[in-house]
A and B are shown apart, each in its own frame.
Chain A
Amino acid sequence: MRQTRREFLKTITRGAIATALPIGAFKFLSPREARAAVASSNVRWGFLVDTYKCVGCGFCVKACKLENEVPYDAPVTRTWVERYVILKNGRMLADTPMGARDGFTDPKVQEQEVNPRDIAKAFFVPKLCNQCENPPCVQVCPVGATYQRADGVVLVDRSWCIGCGYCIMACPYGVRFFHPIYHTAEKCTFCIHRLVKGMNTACVDACPFGARKVGNLKDPNDPVTQVILNQRVAVLKPEYGTKPQAFYIGLDENVR
């Protein structure tokens, strides 16, 4: 069969259009959409911190390190507690020695002697991964080693993480670090291995004052959801658009 170039191009164009049209009728799903379409989760884990109840004992940090095998004497930690001291002149002092693993035993804040009479207010703020609805750490992972579960918890695959540190740089909350032994990105998992068994996270169980609570945000009768729905709560750094899912009662404007 002889064919001129013009005819050949014509046929190709027609063929391309003919195939493209039916393909256009399909919708391409992102892996996340596909997962949601098949198995939508009726669980969304969220966290509630009552800063009024926290005394900075650091039991949560201890419990977390032991439960999740983060080397005890390493300064890195999945959860930590911050101490804020606001002076009457408006100055803010804050610290978190060893992530408050041993509590706050030194009255010095930021290595400074503080006269109790100068203090306007002082409080403790526990921190952990916010399991953001729009997690920047997941977005930037070049190999997909970190991912978000259907229940909202963000995990890291230690067998796949290349250790580039992009997720560590991308998290506005500083919750990620390199694990001292595995040398892969490490973060709070809401103790998902405990949650799926119907238990609480290690830090929630360790807190003697009930300052930490974990709950299912999709269950309107869950006590945590009740508080978030009915009381005045705030999240950390909402300006980054990450939609954090750890809610705080009594969050002060000085909290970083």
Chain B
Amino acid sequence: MEGYIHGLEWTVKELFTYPNEFITWSIQIVMYPYMTGLVAGAFVLSSLYHVFGQEDLKDLAKFALVFSFALLLVAPMPLMFHLQHPLRGMEVFFTPHFTSAISAFGIVFFTYSMVVSTEIWFVYRKFFVEQALSLKGKEGLVNRFKWLIYTALTLGAYDISEEALHKDERAVKILAAIGIPVACFLHGYAGFIFGSVKANALWMTPLMPVIFIMSAIVSGIALCMLTYIVIMEWKKFRIKRARKPWEVTAEEVGGVELDLMRKTSKYLIGFLIAAITLELLDLVFRGYTAVKSWDILRSVIYERDFFKIFILQYTFGDLIPFIMLLMPRPTVRRLVVALVLVLFGVFMMRWNVVIGGQAFSLTFAGYMDYHIPIIPHNIETFKEGVMGALVIGIMPFVLFWGINKIVPSLKYK
């Protein structure tokens, strides 16, 4: 077995720290709440239509649901990258120790996967049956294979009468309603993992789960909107390229419906305000009560991490996109920039919590700096470096591409 000290490579210590202190929770623990947050956010977005009947979100709801499923499959991956013994990860399901917040992961994750996959099944049941029936008896290996998949996916329920479909709709509504608290719980408990660590002065606050949920919904909605815009614009671009301009009708190149985007961004702004309010409340409260840890926290927040917190997170991640989204007459380009900034802002928030929480020593008299490994030279620096984070970041899109082949969630115009 290879001998190395976890964290030694990327931790730079300053002043007085305990000998065993390192940045133990690195980039993958930033990615983990980021990914679960996107899952929760995407699901809540789809539920806004199914449960609250927000008709304006109808087109986006299906896409958000399927995308949330792709994200869900990625959510445990950062944990696997982070574990020192990834092959033992299954123990969390087999021998859960219920006083630990992480042990809830198995239960919450599986409950949530069941809710989402069942909801997708009800939404797409009619489609599965139609596909299975139309592909029956067709020649060709691909058709045979597709027929096999869709037949399996119908689960033997071929009734697509008006009455049966109506029942499906009701089931979707109920599942979407159950899904909202479960999605919030999935992410709220990720916040609880941090908020309940009493040894960490920055993390320990009961607001943590709520802040996490709010910023999760913000990031989820932003990612859904962004992906939707990119896919729609890409389609428009392809249609335009394939045919002569005069052969294309206006309906075909519809691209992004700005009206839909404007309405969705209203929800985004709402949750963004809630998230920022809570974060600022936390900050003000810490400064006002100024308990023992405040001296070191203040030096981290206002001095050492000032740029990351106030410039990157609050200014670029919150303030600028906030103004851009509120400005009248939205354009696709402005929307894209604002959404990218929002996603970046939420990522920075996760970073500032996870890495920022380890930026100071337990002695309250020393600091630790995280130097993220960029070019990996061993498995450790790959997993817990920029490359590992990129793999996790790209994964949902790859999975969505695959899943979307079976359950098409984007309407062609």
Contact = CB atoms under 8 A, between A and B. Distances in A.
Interface of A: 71, 74-77, 80, 92-96, 98-99, 110, 127, 136, 138-145, 160-166, 168-178, 180-184, 239-241, 256
Given A172-B198, A173-B362, A256-B16, A74 B85 contact: no
B138 to A, nearest CB: 45
B91 A170 contact: no
B19 A99 contact: yes
B103 interface: yes
Given A98-B19, A174-B18, A174-B362, A240 B198 contact: yes
Given A74-B3, A163-B83, 5 more contacts: A138-B99, A140-B101, A169-B24, A170-B198, A177-B22
Nearest to A92: B365
B97 A169 contact: no
Contacts of B21: 174
B85 A166 contact: no
Label chain A's interface by main secondary structure.
loop
Contacts of B196: 140
Contacts of A174: 18-21, 361-363
B197 interface: yes
Nearest to A176: B20
- The residue among A74, A75, A141, A178 with the most chain B CB atoms within 10 A of its own CB is A178
B23 to A, nearest CB: 10
- Majority-rule SS of B interface residues: loop
A183 B4 CA distance: 8
A98 B17 CA distance: 11
Interface string B185-196: 000000001001
A168 B167 CA distance: 50
Contact of B19 (A96, A138, A182): A96
Contacts of A240: 198-199
A142 B1 contact: no
Contact of B99 (A139, A145, A163, A256): A139
Contacts of A142: 92, 96-97, 100-103, 105
A74 B8 CA distance: 10
B84 interface: yes
A173 B363 CA distance: 8
B200 interface: yes
A134 to B, nearest CB: 11
Nearest to A81: B19
Contacts of A166: 100, 102, 193
A184 B31 CA distance: 22
B88 to A, nearest CB: 4
Given A142-B100, A170-B199, A171-B199, A162 B92 contact: yes
18 contacts: A76-B20, A92-B365, A94-B363, A139-B99, A140-B99, A142-B101, A145-B91, A162-B85, A162-B89, A165-B24, A168-B20, A168-B24, A169-B197, A176-B20, A177-B20, A178-B6, A183-B85, A240-B199
Contact of B97 (A71, A76, A143): A143
A241 B199 CA distance: 10
Contacts of A161: 84-85, 88
A173 B7 CA distance: 18
Contacts of A175: 20
B100 A141 contact: yes
Contacts of B365: 92, 94, 256
Contacts of A241: 198
B375 interface: no
A143 B96 contact: yes
A140 B102 contact: yes
Interface string B21-33: 1101100000000
B28 to A, nearest CB: 11
A74 B20 contact: no
Contact of A162 (B91, B99, B197): B91
A144 B95 contact: yes
